[in-house]
Amino acid sequence: MAALPDPLWRPFPGLSDYAGTVAAMEAHVERMAAGAAAEEIWLVEHPPLLTAGTSADPAELLAPGRFPVHPVGRGGRFTYHGPGQRVVYPMLDLGRRGRDVRRYVAALEAWAVAALSDCGIEAGISEAGTGIWVETAEGLRKIGAIGVRVRRWISFHGLALNVTTDLGHYDAIVPCGIAAFGVTRAADLAPNVTMARVDAALRLNLPVLMHSLSAPEPPRIKTLEAHPDCR
């Protein structure tokens, strides 16, 4: 079978309205399922807001009313989106790329880890929870969240990486339900990390994502040990 072409790369300038972006993403997924649109990867930033996944626990919303809350159909609990955070929405045809959602999540993790490595940040996965993690002087910290949804074997939602994010905004929630570990951002871990640099690293490492979906073995990603006493 001939190799599939890479998806269209679409960065969106400015801050993108969350509800409008999700509606546009779902419409694109429907067009893809009907064979009327190609695969795309959207790169956006949102204004400050919270999303509540299908497993969101109201007790983990620590500051009700501080930010708008958007219920979403993806898996996961409460997450934060805001300026300085790169949100990536890959809309891929998993029906032609293996029909393996776990492999897809692992491919997203491998892609993010490779991109951060190019920015001088060593990251990995952890038994502490889903997403992308780093070891800091303060202990294990989460730098990226993953929450995906698949409809008719088309993926949407996706990946969020903290680049220059205001980490104080995370005080509004227990991020992803993980109370024992904090969050961090790329700008605090490596010199001169900007959104443009992270975007360039993601684009450069796109083959990691695409290859990981079709490789005989799932990607191997460094696992960082979780120490429950880290706060």
Q: How many CB atoms lie within 10 A of CB 20?
A: 9
Contact in structure between 72 and 53 (CB atoms under 8 Å): yes
| DSSP per-residue string spanning 34-76 | TTSS--EEEEE---SEEEE-TT--GGGB-STTSS-EEE-SSSS
Closest CA to 75 of 104, 43, 44: 104
Q: Which position among 87, 113, 161, 176 bears the catalytic label?
A: 176
Distance CA 153, CA 29 (A): 10
Q: Does the annotation mark 119 as catalytic?
A: no
* DSSP tally for the chain: helices H, then strands E: 4, 12
Give the residue numbers marked as catalytic. 176
